[in-house]
Amino acid sequence: MKDAYRSPELYKLVQKKRYENDGKEVTDRTFSGTRMSHTTGLAVDINLINLKTGDEVEMWNKAD
């Protein structure tokens, strides 16, 4: 598990930074700043790790 609980304030900060870095259109496709599912404690992020290298396995390409 990579992370779980996020406060509403953190969601807003992340959304603001993503708008600055990636633009509103790209951010809104991949980030839900209104649903905020991680504030409930019922959602977590699971990331795959390559057991040989210890590196995180990328599941999507930011350019997509």
Q: Which tens digit of pLDDT belongs to each residue from 8-56? A: 898 899 999 999 999 999 998 888 777 787 788 778 788 889 999 999 8
Q: What is the pLDDT of residue 6?
A: 82
What is the rounded average pLDDT of the residues 2-8? 78
- Residue 12 belongs to some domain of the structure: yes
Angle at 47 between CA 22 and CA 41, to 5 degrees: 85
Is 18 within 8 Å of 25 (Cβ atoms)? no
* Position 51 in a domain: yes
- At 26 the three-state DSSP class reads helix
Range(s) of the domain holding residue 2: 1-58
Q: Is residue 63 part of a domain?
A: no
Contact 39, 12 (CB under 8 A): no
pLDDT of residue 52: 96
Number of structural domains found in the chain:
1
Residue 27 lies in a domain: yes
Residue 38 to residue 40: CA distance in whole angstroms: 5
Q: Would you say residue 1 has pLDDT above 60?
A: no
